[in-house]
Structure 1
Amino acid sequence: MSKKVDIKLIALTITLLMCVVVPIVFWPDGTSKIINDFFHMMTTDFAWAFLLIGFGCTIFVIFIIISKYGNIRLGGEDAKPHYKGFTWISMIITSALAAGILIFGIVEWMFYVESTPFGIEPRSVEAYEMASAYGMFHWGFSASAFYLPASLAIGYMLWNRKGKSMKISEACSEVLGKEKTKNSLFKLIIDGVVTFCFVGGLLITVGLGTSVIGELIGDLFNVDNTLTLRITIIFAFCAFFIAATSKSIAKGMAKISNFNIYLALAFFLFVFIVGPKSFILNNVVMAVGTNITNFVKMSFYTDAVAQTGFIQNWTIFYWAWYLSLSISIGLWVARISYGRTFRQIAIIVFIVLVFFNLATSATSVSTMVAMITSKNLQVNEEPNKWFKVLWGCIFMVLPVTILYLENAVEELNILGIMQSMTSLFGVPLFFVNVFLIWSAVKAIRSDYKNNKLKI
């Protein structure tokens, strides 16, 4: 087993996970206060940084779409895609934000009406109009753009530079050195932090999704949404994606993703048919227009003067969440995008659909982590089935711990805790993204200069 598994990387990842889990279990009150204090510091003192990162990613996407670099094909000029177009799009969409958009996207406008941006009077007509627009902003162009830089950088280093593994440290080889012994400790730390942060990236999805499903089950069957029920739901998710990860990517994720998209389209059609069709269409068009006219303002609004807390509780939280998912989604998109051009990935990232599935997100991430922590695994190979299952189960440790924290501390704002934890995981991945993009840019420039790349 040791020949196929990176023991050092697994040990480092589990150690980091225990550094979070143990304090929560044994000192829940003190730990929750520390987590909230950290969230306040990051979202208040560094709000400007998160907003600039988000706007920068959006500009980067536009640049890729309109520039000559959009013609770069992952795998080379003659590379043919591994997956059909619809299946490829489905796997990208269903791996991104899972149940989060289905939950937040439907209800968050109600929060925005009461706690408004720009000092707008609560429950006013303008408050309702901005509520719809801000929901679209938080799940729209800037949000999706967070994943593109990592996707393209990893994809180029993996397919065009013939990477030997899925490790992020390998994708950063142009900066960190190609020899295994060079900066070996730093490479191990990068891979360990990335793997550890994958767990945090799923926290909101699994933790919030579990609570919401528990409430729905409780209302449907007239039972209490207890800790036992929610943990049972998590185990049910485990069983689902264990079955999915036991298959290959083509047989597992591809089929599940296609099914999710078909189900999503059917759900949207049902809502549109039974709902107020005229209002839905008019409101969507108005929200799009409001986004276009206020996009720059929303992208740079730090709330420095009014200090209402709106930006900190929502925009900065979302941007930190997307940042914490950027590497995991980037790895997944890169892995399944052989034969696609830079421009094709960019256009798909900009597609805004409102249904993502929790289980497929866990499945894709557990598959990527199993690849990262495997040894001597070629890029076209898949890790052992048991190893993917193991990581899927490990991912459930933190959500279960957070549910325990909610049960142990009275009147705890569990959403606030999950928001705080998410920002904690997002910060280190920003620096990993910097190394990753730096390495890919150096590689592209070198290949273009040496006539190994045609644009």
Structure 2
Amino acid sequence: MEVKLNTNPNNKKQKYDKTLIIIPLLLVAIASVFFLVYPEKSASVLNNVSNYFVSKTGWLFMSFPPVMLLISMYWAFSKRGNIRMGGDNAKAPISMWTYIIILFSAGMGAGSVVFSMVEWAYYYSAPPFGMEAFSLAAAEMSTAYNMFHWGISIATLNMLLAIPFCYCYYIRKHNTLRLGDMCGIMIGEDKKYSKVLVKVINLIFIIAVLGSLSTTLGLGIPYISRSLSIVFGFPESSLINIAVILFIAVLFSFSSYLGISKGLQKLSEINVYWGFIFLAIILFGGSTIFILDNMANAIGLMLQNYIRMSFNLDPVFGGGFAQDWTIFFICYAWGFVAMTSVVIVKLSYGRTFREMILGNIFGVAAGLFVLMGINGSNALSLQLEGKFDVAGILASEGIQSAIVGILGQTVMGTVVGVIAFAIMLVLFIATTMDGASLTLASATIDKIDVKEEPSPVMRLVWCVILSVIPLTLTAVGAGLSTLQSLVNLIGWPIMIIGIFMLIKTFKWAKEDGY
């Protein structure tokens, strides 16, 4: 169903805050130059700062997802859950299915696709809870932890900003999608420090979105380049990486120019249907019964150990599992929360808060369970049956080689499997970048109506800026540890700002009689 969300009824000229474009662009340029000139030093500084930060605030990050889940369920099943965004007679322009697949495609990024193949192997070789490495117990828990890291708790974090954004935008009718402006409204615009705080928070919001994209791009681009070198015999080089980035940039720029209904929606649908075909081939062309059994078993283990996983900081034995992985994924999600919140607002017209909350949490999580369950369980079966040493290749040669090896064991074979997986990555990256350009363009507009979209020109400006990030990461050869460190640092300001906004939103709802 095609919907027209990109209307501008009055054909009015949109007013942008140029400082919210110029300052982030300068910061990206400065950081890019520093990383290019001092790649090892910059990575070392970033890692040291991140490690210190995580050691001091890990307890807060770990405890927040289950708390947010309880708050979200309370809001959804209270009378507030019946509030319809846009008014009692508003009708949602897109189906719930389309709603979920756009959020899934734009909000997860290439990181979810890459980790779906190999994340379990990290936990198999260095398991939590003091388990023996490479044991059957570690293998069993590995997929469960994979689903935990990408499941309900992480999807719940979107609600920290989505609930305040939707309430402020639709119920209080403040036509702005700037995080700082919303905070200013909640604080009181007459306060002396309000204007300065608004500017700072708006910049934090934009930087957080830019930073969160670095991980999904840093994981996806190298694999696509490696795929081309394998299939066509190209030597791996910076030129191949640049060519891949430019191709993706053209794709998501074209989609962005078309708008939500003709661009992002269509691209998301293609993305999901391609993913279903790919996963169906993996499922029915591999150890089908083992994959299905392991998926069901992993979901059960995850639910059984949910509380323990949520608070597993391991202070006595000091294994560092949560610090290396769980906190990383929570921070990764925080970065995407900033971007996804705007997409949720623009798509949620005509939906109740209950539909918005349950669709985002359980709909998106269900998609992730399928992605992680099929890809991860298939690779695990290869490991346990001795067909391919995924964990060994991952440790010695890296993520890209491990994924290529896994795909070579499928019925598709190396060439077809590698190409099919690369296409899925391209589609995920393009939809994520398209959603990010919508978010960033919306975040720089002074006012934006319910059925209005940012101008195509401004979205294209952000598309160009977004393309600079993967070019820099590719040039400096940023590894997973560097990406993890960057993500760990961008999450905390979004969480703190979101907590304030959520508390204020509850007060507003009480004042409004909900």
Report TM bin, short chain. Answer: over 0.9
Q: Deviations over 1:194-249 (max 9, x none)?
A: 01111011111111100111222222222233222112211111000110011121
Distance (whole Å) between structure 2 residues aligned to residue 88 and residue 318 of structure 1: 24
Q: Tell me the residue number matched to 2:463.
A: 392
Gaps of 5+ in 1: 407-412
Distance (whole Å) between structure 2 residues aligned to residue 446 and residue 250 of structure 1: 36
Instruction: Determine which of 474, 482, 487 is the counterpart of 1:417.
Output: 482
Distance (whole Å) between structure 2 residues aligned to residue 252 and residue 202 of structure 1: 20
| Shift in Å, 1:291 | 0.8
Q: Tell me the residue number matched to 1:194.
A: 205
CA-atom RMSD, angstroms?
A: 2.0
Distance (whole Å) between structure 2 residues aligned to residue 335 and residue 173 of structure 1: 21
Distance (whole Å) between structure 1 residues aligned to residue 252 and residue 342 of structure 2: 19
Distance (whole Å) between structure 2 residues aligned to residue 76 and residue 297 of structure 1: 41
Q: Tell me the residue number matched to 2:413.
A: none
Q: Tell me the residue number matched to 2:288.
A: 277
Instruction: Determine which of 87, 100, 106 is the counterpart of 1:89.
Output: 100
Instruction: Determine which of 222, 226, 234 is the counterpart of 1:215.
Output: 226
Q: Does 1:319 align with 2:330?
A: yes
What secondary structure is seen at the aligned counterpart in 2 of 1:172? Answer: helix
Q: Does 1:357 align with 2:428?
A: yes
| Shift in Å, 1:359 | 0.8
Q: Does 1:205 align with 2:270?
A: no
Identity %: 28
Q: Does 1:228 align with 2:239?
A: yes
Q: Tell me the residue number matched to 1:366.
A: 437
* Greater Cα offset, 245-254 or 8-17: 8-17
Q: Tell me the residue number matched to 2:424.
A: none
Change (3 A) 1:443 1:140: same
What secondary structure is seen at the aligned counterpart in 2 of 1:246? Answer: helix
One-letter identity of the residue aligned with 1:358: I
| 2:328–2:487 CA contact under 8 A, matched in 1 | yes
| 1:324–1:427 CA contact under 8 A, matched in 2 | no
* Greater Cα offset, 337-346 or 127-136: 337-346
Q: Tell me the residue number matched to 1:410.
A: none
Q: Deviations over 1:265-285 (max 9, x none)?
A: 222222211111110111111
Q: Tell me the residue number matched to 1:296.
A: 307
* Matched positions, count: 443
Q: Does 1:382 align with 2:422?
A: no
Q: Deviations over 1:417-441 (max 9, x none)?
A: 0111111211221122123223322
Distance (whole Å) between structure 2 residues aligned to residue 431 and residue 22 of structure 1: 30
Q: Does 1:447 align with 2:512?
A: yes
| Shift in Å, 1:181 | 8.1
One-letter identity of the residue aligned with 1:365: A
Q: Deviations over 1:140-160 (max 9, x none)?
A: 111111102211210111111
Distance (whole Å) between structure 2 residues aligned to residue 9 and residue 154 of structure 1: 19
Distance (whole Å) between structure 2 residues aligned to residue 254 and residue 310 of structure 1: 38
What secondary structure is seen at the aligned counterpart in 1 of 2:93? Answer: coil
| 2:15–2:445 CA contact under 8 A, matched in 1 | yes
Q: Where does 1:22-33 land on structure 2 (aligned, <5 Å)?
A: 22-33=33-44
What secondary structure is seen at the aligned counterpart in 2 of 1:365? Answer: helix
Q: Does 1:130 align with 2:130?
A: no
What secondary structure is seen at the aligned counterpart in 2 of 1:248? Answer: helix
Distance (whole Å) between structure 2 residues aligned to residue 12 and residue 438 of structure 1: 30
Gaps of 5+ in 2: 1-11, 372-426
Q: Tell me the residue number matched to 2:392.
A: none
Q: Deviations over 1:32-76 (max 9, x none)?
A: 111010221122222111101122222223323433322222222
| Shift in Å, 1:164 | 2.0
Distance (whole Å) between structure 2 residues aligned to residue 395 and residue 98 of structure 1: 14
What secondary structure is seen at the aligned counterpart in 2 of 1:402? Answer: helix
Q: Where does 1:245-264 land on structure 2 (aligned, <5 Å)?
A: 245-264=256-275
* Greater Cα offset, 179-188 or 415-424: 179-188
One-letter identity of the residue aligned with 1:429: I
| Shift in Å, 1:192 | 1.1
Distance (whole Å) between structure 2 residues aligned to residue 384 and residue 264 of structure 1: 30
Instruction: Determine which of 496, 503, 507 is the counterpart of 1:431.
Output: 496
| Shift in Å, 1:87 | 1.8
Distance (whole Å) between structure 1 residues aligned to residue 325 and residue 226 of structure 2: 23
| Shift in Å, 1:174 | 4.4
Q: Tell me the residue number matched to 1:409.
A: none
Instruction: Determine which of 252, 256, 259 is the counterpart of 1:241.
Output: 252
| Shift in Å, 1:361 | 0.8
Q: TM-score, normalised on structure 2? A: 0.82
* Greater Cα offset, 217-226 or 179-188: 179-188
Q: Deviations over 1:385-418 (max 9, x none)?
A: 1210110121122222122222xxxxxx711001
| 1:324–1:423 CA contact under 8 A, matched in 2 | no
* Greater Cα offset, 94-103 or 9-18: 9-18
Distance (whole Å) between structure 2 residues aligned to residue 104 and residue 319 of structure 1: 15
| Shift in Å, 1:375 | 3.6
Distance (whole Å) between structure 2 residues aligned to residue 171 and residue 81 of structure 1: 24
Change (3 A) 1:29 1:440: same
Q: Tell me the residue number matched to 2:476.
A: 405
* Greater Cα offset, 69-78 or 185-194: 69-78
Distance (whole Å) between structure 2 residues aligned to residue 226 and residue 180 of structure 1: 54
| Shift in Å, 1:99 | 1.5
